[in-house]
Structure formats: structure tokens, C-alpha cells
Structure 1
Amino acid sequence: MGTPEWYTINNVDELDTPALVVYPDRVKYNIGLVKTMIDDVFRLRPHVKTHKSLDVSLLMIQAGIQKFKCATIAEAEMLGMAAAPDVLLAYQPAGPKLKRFVQVIKTYPQTTYSCLVDNEDTANAISAEAVKSNIKITVYIDLNVGMNRTGIAPGADALDLYTTCLSLPGLVLMGLHAYDGHIHDSDYAVRQKRSDESMGPVFKLIDDIAAKGYPQSVLIAGGSPTFSIVSKINGIECSPGTFVYWDKGYETAYPEQPFQTAALIVARVISLPEEGRICIDLGHKSVSAENELAKRVYFLNAPELKFIGHSEEHLVAGAGKDHQYKVGDILYGLPYHVCPSVALYERAITIENKMVTSEWKTTARDRKITI
């Protein structure tokens, strides 16, 4: 994490809190590092869900990253605004979302878009919309490799769906998508074993596809926890996302991935309600609250605090009977889960040379940008 006080902001008195702050030098370091962790930059397809930022997207493109993954129409549009060459909507569009996706494709023709499909009915719906709109829509078969959230199990049914998609007008079948978000063991050997087990049926499906004489499938697989594993498999496109900002949860769990934490939430002590306790302006609306109370935020300059209560606008902590905290004291919080924490802020304040310098809009935080 660098020197003990890399995060200090000299003009922090000008910053209202709670505030999401990012350190561009550390973001650029992480982008450079991720490129060294794979043999070919064109195998990188980072997910933008962590940062949702046009500025960060442009930094990645400037660094030579050409392929991206996203989860929302707003993120897809943001990447179109950045002129990203290749964007996968890692979501199966249905209803109005499908119509919006078609509009994004038409609005940003310099970007090649694709999406996921995991059943024949949706494949037919996407085909019909493509024909109606006089376009081609590129699709990947979404495989369920153990997360049990979306996707079709790799096997005979997936092969049938693959065959169907090849025959449908308006569709261009590019390959397979296998997200293994259920694998997040901190023990690397356990993670490796579970990853190998989850990917086995996928490779069998690829062999079955080849045996039928179909064109070679592109495989997009993995997320941040398994990136250091999947990246070693030749030819697979990898989709880490959290690396760009990193967080306390991943820093603790995956030490083999030496990314720098690059986004913090700055907070203040706002009350001393009773002896031994302090109240901080960091509620549910300011930091992701899905984890247990002790694992929502880690204060870099106050690691001894013990959290007692958390509500919409307040975080109450035990500081010890003889604590020295005063109202107005600044706390630098490292989120345990940065992705949903970032989505709580409409902008990230940039910190350079220990000074507030500018801001990066969280562009795709909104469900809709223009489309």
C-alpha cells in the first residue's frame, strides 16, 4: 500500500464529507500492472462495473486495452462515448432493455457491441429485433459454471442452443461466456482447484462444438478472484474489474494480486454521543452495507475502531474510554467492497500530490445517460 500516509489530503478541510476520492497515479499503476499479468493485452476484457467512469475508461483505452465488459445499458453507452472498440453487455437483454441495446448499437457504430443469451426464447427475441432493425447482433452463450445466477449448464442443451443461435437470422454467434463469481476462496490452491473443476465442462463443450465443424469459439471467463488463474489459460479473454480501484476485501483475500488500493471514502467524526463512542458521517448511503458490520469499511488512520451501529447517514464506533477523537477529525476509509460503494457517489474527487485537484464523474451511475 506504499508509505503509511500515501492517502493524506493536505487541503482536506475544503472537502465536504462523506466523499469518494480516487488517486489517479494509483489507478494508472493498476492499469499498467494488469497488463503485465497476462501474455497479450488483447486477452483483457475488463469489467467497468467498479468505476463506472468515462475518465477511467479512457485511461484504459489509452493504455491499449480494446475490449470491455459491462452490465448495464448506461455502462454500454458510456463505453460508446469513450469510443471503446469492443464491448460485451454481460447481461441478457429482455423487454425494453433489448430495444435500448439496439439503440446503443445504432448510436455508436464505431463500437462493436455484443450481449449474452442463455435460452432459445430470448435468442429468438434478439434475432427478431435485429432483423426488424436491419442490424446484426453479436451474442455469446452465457454458461452457468456454478454461480447459479444466470446461464445454461455447459452440456447437450448448451450445444443445442449454440446450434440454434448459428441458424437464427440477425445473430452473429461469437462464443461462450463463463463467469465464476461463486469462487472467491482466499486459499489460492482451493481457488485453483474450484476454477479447474468449473471450467472442465466448458472445455468439453468447446471440444463438442469443434467436433461438429463449427467455427472456433471465443471464450470469455473469470472475474477478479480467479484472474490470476484463468489468465494462464491460453486464448481465454479475462474480465477482472475491481483491480482498477481494488478494495480491502480483495486486498486481504488475494495477496497474489498486488494491486494498489486507489479509491477511498473520506469521512468525519460528527458527534461524541457518549463516553468511548464516536459517530461518523458514513451511513448505508455512503458505503456498501451488504457485509457484516465489521467488514464494511476499514479506516486506514483509525484501524482500532470497533463498529457498533450503522444507519442511513451515521456510523457509530467504539473508540475506547480514553480516546482522543474530536468532532471534525478526518477518517480515511477503505471500503471492503468498492464496486457498490462507488455507485453511491455521483462523482469521485481526484487527489494528486496530496491535493484535491478535480473530479471524475461516475458517468454510468445513472440507469440512463441518454438512451
Structure 2
Amino acid sequence: MDIETPAALIDEARMAANIDRMQLHLTALGVRLRPHVKTSKCIEVARRQQEAGAQGITVSTLKEAEQFFAAGFSDILYAVCMAPDKLDRALALIRRGCALTILVDSVPAAEAVVAKGKAEARAFDVMIEIDSDGHRSGVQPEAADLIEIGTILQAGGQRVKGVLTHAGSSYDLDTAEALEKLAEQERALCVRAAERLRTAGIACPEVSVGSTPTALAARNLAGVTEVRAGVYVFFDLVMSNVGVCTPGQVALSVLATVIGHQAEKGWVIVDAGWMAMSRDRGTQRQKIDYGYGAVCDAAGHVLDGLVVSGANQEHGIVSRRDGTADPDVVERFPIGTRLRLLPNHACATGAQYPNYLAVASDGSATVWPRFQGW
């Protein structure tokens, strides 16, 4: 391929297989898939998810909501708790016809939404975030605050669309049994929160759960209406360590060029440092530490034992993961050799690039723009 490096490549065949796998699994369980597009931030990728059967999208920034709405995506869930100073921006989207759902997890946030809704004579669609695993944010399913938040919203003329949770602690697991147990915990606690709201007379039509590991591990989604997952579209090395994919299923890679060697150390120097791979070292505390990334040949086949063991801003060091010096690296990887590097965290690596190069099975490549910022 005549491509200037470093470049972010999408293996279209792998991506399509990843999309189909998640869609078929959730369709069989009788729930909608609302993919989280923060992973790709790319219209072309999201369109392929919709074509496979996904319904609506999840975003993590209002810029994502604006960009995707401009491209024709109208059913959008903004899955970050709403800051009051962003309500005007959200309202501007709604007034243009976007079916935007926003998120709160506290009484003050609910009160701010009600105040803005009354001032603008507008009813927002609001979901309440539930903490199902102590990982990040959200209201405990049995907390009194849950009913108070729902009451404030409903009495204030806002629509309580439902409850939402994200079992982010699934990234810390690595067995099928543990993942299935957490998926059931995520489901049961979010459904319980919805039941409490309904018993209190608060409408709660939607129950939204999901992370890529728990979505794939789920065997029972009774009471759930939709699942959100994001990184499955590309997968990455963290997900490989979790056990929901293999390195050979990772669809995103960074194309790099060999620019030098330190033969006595068994090092190959490439033109992709931490600016190309990101500083994410998410595999460092997992069962296999891939450094800054795993190494593949130009066709995408994993080269066992090789990792990006070190990185400066624009230099990457490829060496053996076990620390032994490979004596023939100069002959195996001469100057100019192309390598593909698999990322630890696809979202973070993708964020380093303004475009992807989507590589088809015939080797042709198409530029797919992605966007950045907030």
C-alpha cells in the first residue's frame, strides 16, 4: 500500500464480522442495540452498524451528537451526565429536530433540567443513571435519591424516559463465568431501579444496559429494552485480555514503517510512537502486557512475541515481549518494512487521527473521516 505512515487502518472484513457478531447476539436475546459511536467517531462506521440492524446511537460528547445528527442520525442518547451549562447546546439540537435523550444522576442535575425546561417551555427526554457495579457514576438502585430524582423530573414536566447503567468494571475481568455474573448483576440492578420508579408512579419505559464485555456475556436480558456497546466494532488488546475477542479479530491497527534498528538489543525502531498509538497502557495490569501495542506484518497477521515495548513521541520500539534480544531483526525487518500495530485501547488510538483508511479485502483503501474534540 502506498500510504504515508503512521496511519490508522480499519480492516473492513474484520469490522463487519464484529458488527454482525454483536448484532446477531442481541437480536437473539430480543433487545435493541444502540451502539456507542465514541469508539469510531466516524459516520461511515456508524452507518454500517445501522445497516446491520442497530437502532439509534449513543454518544459521549455533544459534538458527536451534532455531527451525527447533521449526517442524518436523529435518535441520539447522550450518555454522560448533563452539565447545566450544556443544556442550551442540547436544546439547540432538539429544536432542530434531534430526538436527543440526556442523562442525570443527582437531585441538583435534575433540578437544573427542570428549571431549564420550564424557562424554555420544553420537556426534555431524560434517563437516570444507575450505579450497578461501583465503577463510576450513577444512583444506587435502592437509594431514596432515585425516587426523588424521578419525582422532580416528572413533577417538573420532564419525561423520565428510563434508566441506564454501564458495568465498566467488566474491563477488569477475564473469565467467561465472571463476565456472565456481572452481566446478570448489571441487568438485575437496572431492572430493579426501573421497577422502583414505576411503583412510585414514575414512567420508566426504557431500561438501557451495556458494555462490550457484558453485552457479549449476557444470556438473559429480561426487562431490558436496549443494550449499548462501543468498542466491539473494532475490539482491541484490552478486550482480547478480557476474553471477548482475539488479537486476530481486532479491526483497527496503526500502519508503521521501520526506520532503524538497535541490533544488539534486538530493537526495531518504527515511526509510530505514543502520538500514533496513544499513551494508553491498559494491558499493563492485565494477564498479557502488550506495551504500547501488538505487532503484525503488513497483511495484519500477528507476529507472536513482538510488542511495541517502548515509545517516545514519534518513535516506537518493537522488541520481544519476554525481553530477549532477537539476533536477526535487521534481516527480518529491513528499513522500509511496513508493520501493523494493534492498539491497547481502540478509542484512544483512533483519537490520534483525523481519518481512517478503510482497507477492503482486495487491498484497496478508502478515506473515512473521523472527528475530534467536544
What TM-score results when the alignment is normalised by the length of structure 2?
0.86
> Does the C-alpha gap of structure 1 residues 30 and 263 become closer, same or farther in structure 2, counting only changes over 3 Å?
same
Is this contact kept in 1: 2:190–2:209, CA < 8 A? Answer: no
2:141 — aligned with what?
154
> Does the C-alpha gap of structure 1 residues 231 and 82 become closer, same or farther in structure 2, counting only changes over 3 Å?
farther
> Does the C-alpha gap of structure 1 residues 316 and 216 become closer, same or farther in structure 2, counting only changes over 3 Å?
closer
Letter in 1 for 2:366: S
Is this contact kept in 1: 2:291–2:308, CA < 8 A? Answer: no
Is this contact kept in 1: 2:147–2:200, CA < 8 A? Answer: no
2:230 — aligned with what?
241
Corresponding position: 1:165 with 2:153: yes
The counterpart of 2:32, out of the listed 11, 31, 43, is 43
Gap regions ≥5 residues in structure 1: 1-11
The counterpart of 2:252, out of the listed 253, 263, 286, is 263
> Does the C-alpha gap of structure 1 residues 229 and 255 become closer, same or farther in structure 2, counting only changes over 3 Å?
closer
How far does residue 97 in structure 1 lie from its aligned partner after superposition?
A: 2.3
How far does residue 93 in structure 1 lie from its aligned partner after superposition?
A: 2.1
Is this contact kept in 2: 1:57–1:82, CA < 8 A? Answer: no
How far does residue 75 in structure 1 lie from its aligned partner after superposition?
A: 1.1
- State the distance in 2 between where 1:234 and 1:256 align: 25
Gap regions ≥5 residues in structure 2: 298-302, 320-324
Corresponding position: 1:141 with 2:128: yes
- State the distance in 2 between where 1:278 and 1:258 align: 21
RMSD: 2.4
- State the distance in 2 between where 1:240 and 1:259 align: 20
- Which moved further from structure 2: 16-25 or 306-315? 306-315
How far does residue 222 in structure 1 lie from its aligned partner after superposition?
A: 1.6
2:304 — aligned with what?
303
1:121 — aligned with what?
108
Q: Classify the secondary structure of the residue corresponding to 2:133.
A: coil
The counterpart of 1:112, out of the listed 76, 99, 105, is 99
How far does residue 255 in structure 1 lie from its aligned partner after superposition?
A: 4.0
Corresponding position: 1:283 with 2:279: no
- Which moved further from structure 2: 276-285 or 303-312? 303-312
Corresponding position: 1:82 with 2:74: no
Letter in 2 for 1:345: Y
Q: Classify the secondary structure of the residue corresponding to 2:81.
A: coil
Q: Classify the secondary structure of the residue corresponding to 2:310.
A: strand
Q: Classify the secondary structure of the residue corresponding to 2:103.
A: strand
> Does the C-alpha gap of structure 1 residues 68 and 142 become closer, same or farther in structure 2, counting only changes over 3 Å?
same
How far does residue 258 in structure 1 lie from its aligned partner after superposition?
A: 11
Aligned pairs for 1:173-188 within 5 A: 173-184=160-171, 185-188=173-176
- State the distance in 1 between where 2:312 and 2:248 align: 31
- State the distance in 2 between where 1:27 and 1:307 align: 23
2:240 — aligned with what?
251
Deviations 1:186-241 (A, max 9, x none): 11111222333454443333332232343343111121010023463134211111
Is this contact kept in 2: 1:42–1:65, CA < 8 A? Answer: no
Q: Classify the secondary structure of the residue corresponding to 2:275.
A: coil
1:346 — aligned with what?
354
| Aligned residues between the structures | 351
Is this contact kept in 2: 1:31–1:244, CA < 8 A? Answer: yes
How far does residue 307 in structure 1 lie from its aligned partner after superposition?
A: 4.3
How far does residue 99 in structure 1 lie from its aligned partner after superposition?
A: 2.0
Is this contact kept in 2: 1:266–1:331, CA < 8 A? Answer: yes
- State the distance in 1 between where 2:215 and 2:315 align: 36
What TM-score results when the alignment is normalised by the length of structure 1?
0.86
- State the distance in 2 between where 1:260 and 1:307 align: 19
Is this contact kept in 1: 2:239–2:245, CA < 8 A? Answer: no
Q: How many percent identity over aligned positions?
A: 24
Aligned pairs for 1:226-237 within 5 A: 226-230=214-218, 232-236=220-224, 237=226
Deviations 1:321-368 (A, max 9, x none): 2222211111111112111111111000121234343211013x232x
- Which moved further from structure 2: 260-269 or 318-327? 318-327
The counterpart of 1:327, out of the listed 328, 331, 335, is 335
- State the distance in 2 between where 1:207 and 1:96 align: 31
How far does residue 297 in structure 1 lie from its aligned partner after superposition?
A: 1.0
- State the distance in 2 between where 1:90 and 1:277 align: 43
Aligned pairs for 1:357-368 within 5 A: 357-363=365-371, 365-367=372-374
Q: Which has the higher contact order (CA 8 A, sep 6+)?
A: 1
> Does the C-alpha gap of structure 1 residues 28 and 343 become closer, same or farther in structure 2, counting only changes over 3 Å?
same
How far does residue 42 in structure 1 lie from its aligned partner after superposition?
A: 5.8
The counterpart of 1:58, out of the listed 33, 47, 50, is 47
2:322 — aligned with what?
none
> Does the C-alpha gap of structure 1 residues 126 and 211 become closer, same or farther in structure 2, counting only changes over 3 Å?
closer
- State the distance in 1 between where 2:153 and 2:209 align: 20
Is this contact kept in 1: 2:8–2:252, CA < 8 A? Answer: yes
Is this contact kept in 2: 1:289–1:296, CA < 8 A? Answer: yes
1:337 — aligned with what?
345
Q: Classify the secondary structure of the residue corresponding to 1:162.
A: helix
1:4 — aligned with what?
none
Letter in 2 for 1:300: C
- State the distance in 1 between where 2:258 and 2:85 align: 45
Is this contact kept in 1: 2:254–2:340, CA < 8 A? Answer: yes
